[in-house]
Amino acid sequence: MKQRPVYLDLPRIRLPLPGIISILHRLSGALLFFAGIPLLLYGVAGSLASPEAYAEMKAGFAHPVAKLVLIGMIWAYLHHFCAGVRYLLLDIHRGIELEPARRSSAVVLVLSLALTLILGVRLW
Amino acid sequence: MTRRHAVGAHYGLMDWLIQRLTAVLMAVYTLLVLAIVLWNGGIDYALWTELFAHAGFRLASFLFMVALLYHAWIGMRDILMDYVKPAGMRLLLETVTVVILFAYLGWTLQLLWGQA
């Protein structure tokens, strides 16, 4: 195999904004896999049993720590969703020039954080 | 001539496509649920159970979960391929991932049709 230069000095790598969106896409995806899916299944399964179980689940998720975790999951879902839509658009060659690509990464970052903030405030 | 390895790129395009298709399916389901919640001005126990009593909604939820689990498999495998280089360790972690995915699937089936 051809030897290619590898530059992996992590503290010195400065990712451009689209790179940050990309690594956050991975991070949020892994987060959803390990915590998001089980929480979703746990929440839905637990809340369907009876009105009491529903109220209990609601009370459980009202705990500050649970709320923080939930807000984290909301961010992960929203970021993954928004960045995913961006990738789908890039796939059909929308916004692939450098400037639009940078702008759309900023939109993804800000939009998912803003929506998380709105939902987080409502939840709290 | 191209030298190919045991784990070639031949299945890559198909997985790439499936990753996108499952993403679109999940986005549609997400917007559907969001629309139902907004239409009813929030969610309570009555609406929640009514929704899951509907066979169509259960089927849509099942398709969402299958899409999600397949999508998650492709994504997790991509992550493992990028960061875990020793073959044995990668295989182990991929196996763990598959076991977790099947556990999620079992949980989903139990939740959707277990009590009915």
DSSP states of B47-91 as a string? HHHHHHHSHHHHHHHHHHHHHHHHHHHHHHHHHHHHH--SHHHHH
Domain around A123:
63-124
pLDDT of residue A41: 96
- Which one of B27, B30, B107 has the shortest CB-CB distance to A41? B107
- A12 found inside a domain: no
Task: Kindly state whether B16 is in contact with chain A, defined as any CB-CB distance less than 8 angstroms.
Answer: no
- A118 found inside a domain: yes
Task: Catalogue all structural domains in chain B, each as residue range(s) with its CATH number.
Answer: 12-114 (1.20.1300.10)
Q: Do the Cβ atoms of B76 and B84 come closer than 8 Å?
A: no
Q: Report d(CA A67, CA A62) in Å as an integer.
A: 6
pLDDT of residue A123: 84
Q: Average model confidence (pLDDT) for chain B?
A: 91
- A56 found inside a domain: no
Comparing alpha-carbon positions, the chain A residue that sits nearest to B21 is A88
The continuous run of DSSP H or E covering B93 comes out as helix B87-109
pLDDT of residue B3: 60
pLDDT of residue B14: 87
Contacts of A29 in chain B (CB under 8 A): 72, 75-76, 79
- A67 found inside a domain: yes
Select the residue from A31, A33, A82 to test the B interface by mutation, using most B Cβ atoms within 10 A.
A33
pLDDT of residue A8: 72
Amino acid at A114: A
- A83 found inside a domain: yes
Give me the phi and psi of A63, to 5 degrees please.
-60, 135
Minimum distance, in Å, between the CA of residue B30 and any CA atom of chain A: 10
Q: Which residues of chain B have pLDDT under 50?
A: 116
Alpha helices in A32-97 (DSSP H): 37-48, 51-60, 64-91
**Tell me, what's the ipTM?**
0.88
Q: Do B104 and A51 touch (CB under 8 A)?
A: no
Q: Which residues of chain A have pLDDT under 70?
A: 1
Residue B16, number of CB atoms within 10 A of its CB: 13
